[in-house]
Amino acid sequence: MSPAKRSWRFVEPSALPGFGPALGLTMAYLSFFLLVPLAALVLRPWEHGADHVFAVVSAERTLDALRLSFGAAFFAACVNAVFGTIVAWVLVRYDFPGKRILDAFVDLPFALPTAVAGIALVTIYAPNGPIGSIIEPMGLKVAYTPLGVMVALVFVGFPFVVRAIQPVLEEVQIDVEEAAATLGANRFRTISQVIFPAVLPSLLMGFSLALARAVGEYGSVTFIAGNQQNVSEIAPLLIIIHLEEFDYAGAAAIGLAMLLISIVMLFGLNLIQAKVAGRGER
Amino acid sequence: MSGLAKSPARRDPPFLVAGLIAVAVAYLALVVFLPLVIVFVEALRKGVGDYLAGIGDAEALSAIKLTLLVAAIAVPLNTIFGLAAAWCVTKFDFKGKNLLVTLIDLPFSISPVISGLIYVLLYGANGWFGPWLQEHNIQIIFSVTGIVLATTLVTLPFVARELIPLMQAQGSDEEAAATTLGANGLRTFFLITLPNVKWALMYGVLLSTARAMGEFGAVSVVSGKIRGLTATMPLQVEILYNEYNFVAAFAVASLLALFALVTLAVKTLLEARFSDELAAQRWR
């Protein structure tokens, strides 16, 4: 019996009602809140011609802002990859008093509004703040410098790596580690050659999420950055500056550039992650 | 859980255990606890009287009211959307489903400033619909409507992405049985589906409310920051801070921080008690 030829169907038949209204509502809602506004972001940069888009995006000020946003986000994600891994390891593997509270507080950067974090961070690292007053005499300036941008992005991205790795660490089987130990691997070798490869794909995922979040971050950064043109001015702030000058096309051009760079970057990270995950399974 | 650590193969040298715990605690203290503590220290720096004056100020009160109003509109909208989206994505098979799920997640990948910007491009004075709106005396940008739009977009995915994995895992056998026995669609939804997902729904609502009340970047682009009128709590914090009125800025900030702590507590409680009934995915 040859399989019955089936004509193209948009939706498979189902005993349940309500597909039409539910999908209709979903699509109408997405169009109104997301798709039509995004269409404006894609189309509006070009209204003064491609030359204007190129002039805005290749202006030294824009390039500096993009470099700062992506660069600081990258280094912040690296810092969190290292310390986030340690925090996740400690929370999964060791028992100590206060552990559950510590675990709950990992999510604080998600819950604390970014403006609140922003004014708290600048107060801490300002020349007369609790940390600023210690490190500035040592020659380390954080507030109102690109380093301050990075500090804010470290705060914002902290939970991602921890939360990505935790479930994987919990699932690493005892017998795998016991087998490695029985076969003569020392603890360092077990961790670097058995546990680390298992965790690496999630580490990369957490890294990507932290990076993506940090690239577009505005609230926690704007207070501590000092917003000095070409030095500590992030890309989202430059969008706001163009908007305040009623240069909608310019603002949209920078927004579109940010979005496209992020998409390419995340696509690349996804490819690496897929490759690493594939190798781990073999 | 704690049994894990007892396997001899997993026993790390005590100095390493102590060292790593110290590093983790120190990092959390520096990155997470210190900013939180500073908020309350600065808010109370000039005493309780000034603190209460900062909170009781007429502008602060109108910012609190506006913030609650915006959350009270945006969160229910996204809850209805999340339920509808989860219903069609998890109970039916149709072409383009993966694309739809990607779209629902998209607002998380967009910079908050861009989430505000795109509404200005549509409804601002130079926006696509700007002239038409002006002719009809409708103000969207620099008004509460714009703030609601931007907040809704920023919090759009929370409920949907909480419900979708859970409803996917639960399947649709129970609903199919109910329909076969003659229950209509709405009855099936309210008596079967909704009770099955109630804790996940609450979890999603909790996270969206927290984000809606704290949103800064998107709202700051569309609000115009008119004191007492379009300044939400986070914007009021910025206004006060930029005027060097630090005690008042941190007083309003402390309310937001308290709300964040309550959110964390409820979230931890929900995760501890109903972990099976929550999708295992995380906040972003």
pLDDT tens digit sequence for A222-231 = 999 988 888 8
Tokens of B255: 């309310």
What distance in Å separates residue A210's CA from the closest CA in chain B? Answer: 9
Residues 34-53 of A with CB under 8 A from B: 34-38, 40-41, 44
CB-neighbour burial class of residue A268 (10 A; exposed 0-12, middle 13-18, buried 19+) = exposed
In a domain, B251, yes or no: yes
pLDDT tens digit sequence for B72-84 = 999 999 999 999 9
Q: Is B10 on the interface with A (CB under 8 A)?
A: yes
In a domain, B253, yes or no: yes
Is the same domain home to B90 and B131? Answer: yes
- Region of poorest pLDDT, from A7-11, A78-82, B238-242: A7-11
Q: Which CATH number do you get for residue B89?
A: 1.10.3720.10
> Which pLDDT score, from 0 to 100, does residue A273 have?
84
Q: Is the pLDDT of residue A170 over 60?
A: yes
Cα distance between residue B84 and residue A170, in whole Å = 34
Supply the angle between the helices B246-273 and B34-43 in degrees, to the nearest 10: 140
pLDDT tens digit sequence for B148-176 = 999 999 999 999 999 999 999 888 889 99
pLDDT average, residue stretch A125-140? 94
Q: Is the pLDDT of residue B130 over 50?
A: yes
Q: Do A243 and B122 touch (CB under 8 A)?
A: no
| Mean of all residue pLDDT scores within chain B | 92
Residues 15-34 of B with CB under 8 A from A: 17, 20-21, 23-25, 27-28, 31-34
Residues 6+ apart with CB under 8 A from B96: none
Tokens of B31: 């990155």
Return the SS3 of B125.
Answer: coil
Tokens of B216: 């800064």
Residues 165-184 of B with CB under 8 A from A: 172, 175-176, 179-180, 184
Q: Which residues pair with A201 in a beta bridge?
A: none
Cα distance between residue A206 and residue A161, in whole Å = 4
Q: Is the pLDDT of residue B5 over 50?
A: no
Is the same domain home to B165 and B32? Answer: no
What per-residue string of b and e applies to B138-163 under the rule 16 or more CB within 10 Å gives b? eebbbbbbbbbbbbbbbbbbbbbbbb
What per-residue string of b and e applies to A46-79 under the rule 16 or more CB within 10 Å gives b? eebeeebbeebbeeeebebbbebbbebbbbbbeb
The more confident residue out of B246 and B280 is B246
Q: Do B32 and A109 touch (CB under 8 A)?
A: yes
Mutation site, B15, B25, B67, B88, interface A, largest A CB count within 10 A = B88
Q: Do B188 and A112 touch (CB under 8 A)?
A: no
Q: Is the pLDDT of residue B103 over 90?
A: yes
Residues 133-152 of B with CB under 8 A from A: 149, 152
Answer yes or no: are the C-beta atoms of A222 and A65 closer than 8 Å. Answer: no
Q: Is the pLDDT of residue B212 over 50?
A: yes
> Which pLDDT score, from 0 to 100, does residue B275 have?
80
CB atoms inside a 10 Å sphere around CB B49: 8
What per-residue string of b and e applies to A185-210 under the rule 16 or more CB within 10 Å gives b? bebeebbeebbeeebbbbbbbbbbbb
pLDDT band at A30 (very low <50, low <70, confident <90, very high): very high
What is the number of domains present in chain B? 2
Is the same domain home to B114 and B23? Answer: no
Q: Is the pLDDT of residue B10 over 80?
A: no
Return the SS3 of A11.
Answer: strand
> Which pLDDT score, from 0 to 100, does residue B1 have?
42
In a domain, B7, yes or no: no
Answer yes or no: are the C-beta atoms of B146 and B140 closer than 8 Å. Answer: yes
Going from N- to C-terminal start, the domains of chain A cover 18-47, 49-281
Q: Is the pLDDT of residue B284 over 50?
A: no
Q: Is A123 on the interface with B (CB under 8 A)?
A: yes
- The count of residues in chain B is 284
What distance in Å separates residue B71's CA from the closest CA in chain A? Answer: 14
> Which pLDDT score, from 0 to 100, does residue B41 have?
97
How much of chain B exceeds pLDDT 70, in percent? 95
Nearest to A155 among B35, B114, B283 (CB): B35
CATH superfamily membership of A49-281: MetI-like (1.10.3720.10)
Nearest to B20 among A38, A86, A240 (CB): A86
Q: Is the pLDDT of residue A2 over 80?
A: no
Mutation site, B118, B206, B263, interface A, largest A CB count within 10 A = B118
Q: Is the pLDDT of residue A103 over 60?
A: yes
> Which pLDDT score, from 0 to 100, does residue B3 have?
45
| Mean of all residue pLDDT scores within chain A | 91
Tokens of B200: 């996940």
Is the same domain home to B174 and B193? Answer: yes
Nearest to B28 among A15, A89, A105 (CB): A105
Q: Is the pLDDT of residue A108 over 70?
A: yes
Nearest to B20 among A14, A89, A240 (CB): A89
Is the same domain home to B39 and B115? Answer: no
> Which pLDDT score, from 0 to 100, does residue B223 have?
94
Answer yes or no: are the C-beta atoms of A161 and A206 closer than 8 Å. Answer: yes
Q: Is the pLDDT of residue A9 over 80?
A: yes
| Chain B residues close to A73, C-beta within 8 Å | none
pLDDT average, residue stretch A90-100? 92
Q: Is the pLDDT of residue B279 over 80?
A: no
Q: Is the pLDDT of residue B142 over 80?
A: yes
Q: Is A120 on the interface with B (CB under 8 A)?
A: yes
Q: What is the dihedral of CA A27, A30, A35, A40, to 10 degrees?
A: 130
In a domain, B166, yes or no: yes
Q: Which residue has the tokens 């779209």?
A: B103
Q: Do A239 and B114 touch (CB under 8 A)?
A: yes
pLDDT tens digit sequence for A252-275 = 999 999 999 999 998 898 888 888
Q: What Å distances lie between residue A204 and B60, B84, B110, CA to CA?
A: 42, 33, 20
In a domain, B218, yes or no: yes
Residues 6+ apart with CB under 8 A from A243: A251, B117, B120, B124, B221
> Which pLDDT score, from 0 to 100, does residue A11 have?
87
Is the same domain home to B38 and B59? Answer: no
Is the same domain home to B167 and B216? Answer: yes
Q: Is the pLDDT of residue A143 over 80?
A: yes
- The count of residues in chain A is 282
Q: Which residue has the tokens 């490869």?
A: A197
> Which pLDDT score, from 0 to 100, does residue A171 have?
84
Residue B62 belongs to domain spanning: 47-277
pLDDT average, residue stretch B182-208? 92
Tokens of A152: 């804010």
> Which pLDDT score, from 0 to 100, does residue A194 have?
81
Q: Is the pLDDT of residue B283 over 60?
A: no
Tokens of A272: 């690496």
> Which pLDDT score, from 0 to 100, does residue A282 have?
46
Is the same domain home to B55 and B190? Answer: yes
| Chain B residues close to A94, C-beta within 8 Å | 5, 17, 20-21
How much of chain A exceeds pLDDT 70, in percent? 96
> Which pLDDT score, from 0 to 100, does residue A280 have?
56
Cα distance between residue B274 and residue B21, in whole Å = 29
Q: Is the pLDDT of residue A276 over 60?
A: yes
Is the same domain home to B37 and B68? Answer: no
